[in-house]
Amino acid sequence: MVTGRNGATYQQTPRTKAKRRPDRVGYDIEAVHAVLDEGLVCHVGYPHHGAPLVLPTLYVRVGETLYLHGSTGAGLMRFPDETVPVCVSVTLTDGLVMARSWFNHSINYRSVVVRGDAALITDPGEKLAALTALVEHVARGRAADSRPPSRKELAATAVLRLPLHEVSLKVRSGPSKDDEEDLDLPYWAGVIPVETVFGAPESDSEAPVPGYARDYRRGDPS
């Protein structure tokens, strides 16, 4: 299990308690933050006309709050009540686990699930601050190196606020877990590491390529 240095954890709730493979589930705050800060896209599940709907969207973590980005015309941003119940997930794939049997194939991953009631931000100052953080989450230094939204653009953009209260982290790492009777089978077993690689920037302007684009990467720079 991935744990942080300070050992602080989110409080377990009935909705975040592990029902399967509790050995892979944790609530370490620092480890949760690391996954959220490395990811770019989350998937948001919410009730839509009486049925569940899951959509991808950009997000950013600021302290113990998750901000979800969208259009004011999107269904997720047009709920009738003050809040909307959501389930947000972010998954990072670290490796393809090849076992000797089909059944024991797996994936090495780090995944965070956040549940709670999201609220639409109506204060323009808070919305602008959240969008600034979002741009910085995508590329640190980009907010100051691009035009901020106009009043019209800001009005056309919606941002949801979701507190990080009900949170769980699930991690799978290491080699395949083959059954003992399969260990002598003549099949290769192992892990194919998965890495996200960013290519060289493709310029669309005469301005020089900034360092954050030339040396772009995700995760802990240390």
pLDDT tens, 114-127? Answer: 999 999 998 999 99
Number of domains within the chain: 1
* 160-169 confidence digits (pLDDT tens): 999 999 999 9
| Residue ranges in the chain assigned as alpha helix (H) | 29-38, 124-138, 151-155, 211-214
* DSSP, res 10: P
Residue 6 lies in a domain: no
Residue 130 lies in a domain: yes
Q: How confident is the model at residue 1 (pLDDT cuts 50, 70, 90)?
A: very low
Q: How confident is the model at residue 4 (pLDDT cuts 50, 70, 90)?
A: low
Residue 112 lies in a domain: yes
Domain interval for residue 100: 22-214
Domain with residue 36: its CATH number is 2.30.110.10
Q: pTM to 2 decimals?
A: 0.89
Instruction: Note the pLDDT of residue 77.
Output: 67
The overall average pLDDT reported for the chain is 91
Residue 60 lies in a domain: yes
CA dist 46 and 81 (Å) reads 13
In this structure, of 77-81, 174-178, 188-192, 204-208, the range with the lowest mean pLDDT score is: 77-81
First to last CA, the chain: 20
